[in-house]
């Protein structure tokens, strides 16, 4: 799952020993970055790579923080940690308190108890500056979509604060070291962090995204630039132009790729702009223009506001926002950002109005208040008392968003037949212990793919067909889309099949909202066909987006979670089936998952429940235990598949 976030701005004012005066183009860079990430979060066409704006912010932050620390060291001979954290508190906390307080009020009226329980956890993490670790822990296949999480963007503040704990201390320890030695050491650490990020991303992209050690290289690139402040480098104008060119090329031309490979040119491009001091260059003039720099000045508040407004509106609508709604919310975000900058950010940066003690006391009180709010929300199951007499009905009707601890875990063989890193033994142990080879007639049938494939294996097993199974969370059947862990589990079962051939191979993968291309289908068939089994490929299931919220809305409006609208993406699933069917070419048989599932209840309405028997589906189109059993009956009765 890809999410983006924002790092708070630092305004560098006044000249220093290093001649590091205020540079309008730095605010201009912030303006560019915040527009990129805001448009990405808003789903604006053409900004699919806009999440890379956060990388720009990290580089800027590392540059400005290091510049200020180096200037202080040169001016005073040391570094004041108390002064450093006072500046951080003044910059970060007042606007953060304002936005989180407003978001909490909105959440109170919009979020169901289950979602509110998630929200208050994110509030606690935001004010303990550990949001990156909290959201990493919440990241799994069944986690709430990032565009519906009001505070997910605050993970970056966690990364920054963790960097701020370590980096000033390191500079203080080596306060007497020469600039050249420090610069080389920082550059070396940046390279090490980049290498670590690549290694971690191969097995856990989410960890590489959220962890401070795998993000540090971006901040350290900015730190390295600080050592070049005030120096006249050759080709100044050309450096800035090249830097902007790298950013534009990566964002709008290169297309999709692993985030780290896109982040490298973006960070290098940002660094080139930062080390260029040519005020007369075209790039400097555009970035330093009045309108652009004004947007840069409010960028911290703008980023804080836009995500809660968009996320809460999506939850309220229980679906995507219209272009008009999105535009109105972005306009509201901008107005609120201007007001927050004017009446919150600026006053708290004024030492004549709020002294050091006042800032620290206010910060500690804010942390205590929001942590107390979060603990209270957790203890009360997301302030479930808001539902009054309906609270028991609510918890009886809804299920948790995640599948942990449910009957489904047992049905799909979690950690035994189905690999999911957070709920399975280490990959080497999983592969060594794997013994899901099927019995009786099921031993001739192999099911492979992601967690949707695990559902299909469970569907057959619950109907007495003990099939062989090798599935993994998010594991595509297409080799080029496999992670290292997915490639390992599939290589393991292909090796097993050489000595124990299968007659039938069942593949299932979630594809929507995208659909595999003809080239990807060709690649998958070339990978699996040597097994010699007849291949069945199950198309996408219909999804019941925001299912838990629809249940709650129906319950509160009609007294019954099953009375009222529960929309399903049947048309999208059928589009996937048609596309797959057109690519068969006699090489495999496509089975229509949407038709099979919908026929359990009513093919016209495609309901996710049966009165008296329970809920059949989870939000992402996964099957409950009873849903898997009934789906298996439909599959076994299908003329194209009968065993």
Q: Looking at the structure, do residues 515 and 588 belong to the same domain, yes or no?
A: yes
Contact 362, 93 (CB under 8 A): yes
Q: Is 498 exposed, middle or buried (0-12, 13-18, 19+ CB in 10 A)?
A: exposed
Q: Which helix (H) or strand (E) holds 446?
A: strand 445-449
Q: pLDDT at position 624, please?
A: 86
Q: Looking at the structure, do residues 137 and 250 belong to the same domain, yes or no?
A: yes
Q: pLDDT at position 523, please?
A: 94
What are the distances in angstroms from CA 537 to CA 301, 351, 561?
A: 48, 66, 34
Asked if residue 1 is part of any domain, the answer here is: no
Q: Looking at the structure, do residues 373 and 411 belong to the same domain, yes or no?
A: no
Asked if residue 174 is part of any domain, the answer here is: yes
**What is the tally of structural domains in the chain?**
2
Q: State both tokens at 62.
A: 């590392």
pLDDT in tens, 111-145: 989 889 999 999 999 999 999 999 998 876 556 67
Q: Looking at the structure, do residues 603 and 503 belong to the same domain, yes or no?
A: yes
**545 confidence band (pLDDT: 50, 70, 90):** confident
Q: Looking at the structure, do residues 355 and 473 belong to the same domain, yes or no?
A: no
Q: Looking at the structure, do residues 516 and 556 belong to the same domain, yes or no?
A: yes
Q: Where are the beta strands (DSSP E) in 257-365?
A: none
Asked if residue 616 is part of any domain, the answer here is: yes
Mean of pLDDT values over 136-157: 82
Mean pLDDT, all residues of the chain: 88
Unique residue bearing structure tokens 């109170």? 108
pTM of the model: 0.80
C-alpha angle 424/429/435, rounded to 5°?
Answer: 85
Q: Which helix (H) or strand (E) holds 418?
A: strand 418-419
Asked if residue 469 is part of any domain, the answer here is: yes
Asked if residue 603 has pLDDT above 80, the reply is no
**154 confidence band (pLDDT: 50, 70, 90):** very high
Q: pLDDT at position 399, please?
A: 60
Asked if residue 13 has pLDDT above 60, the reply is no
Buried b (16+ CB within 10 A) or exposed e, 204-215: bbbbbbbbbbbb
Last residue of a domain, one of 352, 386, 420: 386
Q: pLDDT at position 334, please?
A: 97
Q: Looking at the structure, do residues 435 and 365 belong to the same domain, yes or no?
A: no
**19 confidence band (pLDDT: 50, 70, 90):** very low
Q: Looking at the structure, do residues 371 and 421 belong to the same domain, yes or no?
A: no
> Of 351-365, 557-571, 601-615, which has the strongest mean pLDDT?
351-365
Contact 479, 494 (CB under 8 A): no
Q: State both tokens at 234.
A: 């050759």
C-alpha angle 50/420/126, rounded to 5°?
Answer: 50
CATH number, domain with residue 453: 3.40.50.1110
Q: Lowest mean pLDDT of 30-44, 376-390, 629-643, name the range.
A: 629-643
The CA distance from 554 to 546, in Å, is 12
Q: pLDDT at position 643, please?
A: 67
**Containing structural domain, residue 155:** 24-386
Q: pLDDT at position 263, please?
A: 92
Unique residue bearing structure tokens 């789903």? 43
pLDDT in tens, 433-456: 999 999 988 899 999 999 999 999
Bond preceding residue 93 cis, omega within 30 of 0: no
Q: Looking at the structure, do residues 365 and 416 belong to the same domain, yes or no?
A: no
C-alpha angle 125/130/133, rounded to 5°?
Answer: 105
Asked if residue 232 has pLDDT above 80, the reply is no
User: At 141, is the secondary structure helix, strand, or coil?
Assistant: coil
Asked if residue 574 is part of any domain, the answer here is: yes
The CA distance from 266 to 245, in Å, is 9
Q: Looking at the structure, do residues 352 and 435 belong to the same domain, yes or no?
A: no
Bond preceding residue 172 cis, omega within 30 of 0: no
Asked if residue 6 is part of any domain, the answer here is: no
Q: Looking at the structure, do residues 349 and 426 belong to the same domain, yes or no?
A: no
Asked if residue 361 is part of any domain, the answer here is: yes
Asked if residue 395 is part of any domain, the answer here is: no
Q: pLDDT at position 10, please?
A: 46
Q: pLDDT at position 257, please?
A: 63
Q: pLDDT at position 143, please?
A: 60
Percent of the chain with pLDDT over 70: 93
Last residue of a domain, one of 386, 418, 436: 386
**521 confidence band (pLDDT: 50, 70, 90):** very high
**266 confidence band (pLDDT: 50, 70, 90):** very high
Percent of the chain with pLDDT over 90: 62
Q: pLDDT at position 612, please?
A: 73
Q: Looking at the structure, do residues 382 and 453 belong to the same domain, yes or no?
A: no
Q: pLDDT at position 6, please?
A: 47
Q: pLDDT at position 280, please?
A: 66
Asked if residue 486 has pLDDT above 50, the reply is yes
Asked if residue 541 has pLDDT above 60, the reply is yes
Task: Please name which of 57, 71, 98 lies closest in space to residue 13, comparing C-alpha atoms.
Answer: 71
pLDDT in tens, 345-381: 999 999 889 999 999 999 999 999 999 999 999 999 9
How far does CA 578 lie from the centroid of its chain? 30
Mean of pLDDT values over 52-77: 92
């Amino acid at each position: 799952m890809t999410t983006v976030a924002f790092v708070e701005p630092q305004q560098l004012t006044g000249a220093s020993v290093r001649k590091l005066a205020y540079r309008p183009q730095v605010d201009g860079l912030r303006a560019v970055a915040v527009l990129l990430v805001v448009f990405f979060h808003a789903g604006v066409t053409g900004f699919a790579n806009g999440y890379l704006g956060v990388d720009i912010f990290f580089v800027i932050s590392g540059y400005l923080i290091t510049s200020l620390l180096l200037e202080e060291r040169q001016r005073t001979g040391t570094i004041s940690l108390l002064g450093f954290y006072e500046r951080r508190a003044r910059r970060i906390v007042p606007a953060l308190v304002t936005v989180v307080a407003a978001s909490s009020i909105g959440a109170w009226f919009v979020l169901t108890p289950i979602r509110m329980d998630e929200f208050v956890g994110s509030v606690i993490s935001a004010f303990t500056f550990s949001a990156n670790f909290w959201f990493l822990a919440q990241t799994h296949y069944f986690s709430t979509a990032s565009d519906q999480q009001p505070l997910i963007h605050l993970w970056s503040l966690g990364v920054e604060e963790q960097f701020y704990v370590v980096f000033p201390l390191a500079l203080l320890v080596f306060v007497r070291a020469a600039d050249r030695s420090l610069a080389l050491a920082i550059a070396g650490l940046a390279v090490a962090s980049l290498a670590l990020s690549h290694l971690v991303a191969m097995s856990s992209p989410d960890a590489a995204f959220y962890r401070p050690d795998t993000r540090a290289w971006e901040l350290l690139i900015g730190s390295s630039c600080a050592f070049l402040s005030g120096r006249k480098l050759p080709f100044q104008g050309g450096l800035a132009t090249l830097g902007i060119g790298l950013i534009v090329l990566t964002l709008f031309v290169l297309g999709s790729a692993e985030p780290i490979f896109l982040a490298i040119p973006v960070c290098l491009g940002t660094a080139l702009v930062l080390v260029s001091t040519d005020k007369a260059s075209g790039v400097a003039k555009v970035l330093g223009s009045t309108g652009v720099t004004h947007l840069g000045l409010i960028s911290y508040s703008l980023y804080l506001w836009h995500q809660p407004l968009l996320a809460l509106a999506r939850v309220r609508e229980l679906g995507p926002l219209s272009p008009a709604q999105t535009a109105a919310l972005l306009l509201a975000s901008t107005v609120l950002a201007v007001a927050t900058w004017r009446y919150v950010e600026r006053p708290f940066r004024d030492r004549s109005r709020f002294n050091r003690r006042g800032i620290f006391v206010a910060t500690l009180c804010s942390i205590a208040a929001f942590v107390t709010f979060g603990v209270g929300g957790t203890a009360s199951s997301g302030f479930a008392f808001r539902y009054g007499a309906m609270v028991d009905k609510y918890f009886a009707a809804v299920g948790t968003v995640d599948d942990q601890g449910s009957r489904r875990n047992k049905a799909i063989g979690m950690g035994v037949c189905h690999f999911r890193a957070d709920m399975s033994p280490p990959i080497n142990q999983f592969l060594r212990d794997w013994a899901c080879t099927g019995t009786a007639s099921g031993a001739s049938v192999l099911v492979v793919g992601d967690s949707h494939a695990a559902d299909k294996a469970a569907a057959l097993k619950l109907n007495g067909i003990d099939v062989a199974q090798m599935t993994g969370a998010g594991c595509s059947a297409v080799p080029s889309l496999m992670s290292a862990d997915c490639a390992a589990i599939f290589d393991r079962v292909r090796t097993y099949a050489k000595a124990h051939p299968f007659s039938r191979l069942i593949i299932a993968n979630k594809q929507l909202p995208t659909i595999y291309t003809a080239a990807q289908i060709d690649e998958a068939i070339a990978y699996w066909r040597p097994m010699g089994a007849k291949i069945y490929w199950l198309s996408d299931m219909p999804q019941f987006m925001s299912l838990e919220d629809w249940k709650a809305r129906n319950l509160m409006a009609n007294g019954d979670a099953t009375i009222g609208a529960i929309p399903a993406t049947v048309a999208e699933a059928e589009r996937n089936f048609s596309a797959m069917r057109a690519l068969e070419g006699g090489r495999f048989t496509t089975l229509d998952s949407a038709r099979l599932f919908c026929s359990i209840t009513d093919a016209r309405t495609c309901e996710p429940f049966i009165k008296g028997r329970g809920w059949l589906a989870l939000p992402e189109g996964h099957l409950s235990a009873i849903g898997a059993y009934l789906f298996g009956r439909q599959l076994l009765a299908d003329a194209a598949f009968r065993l």
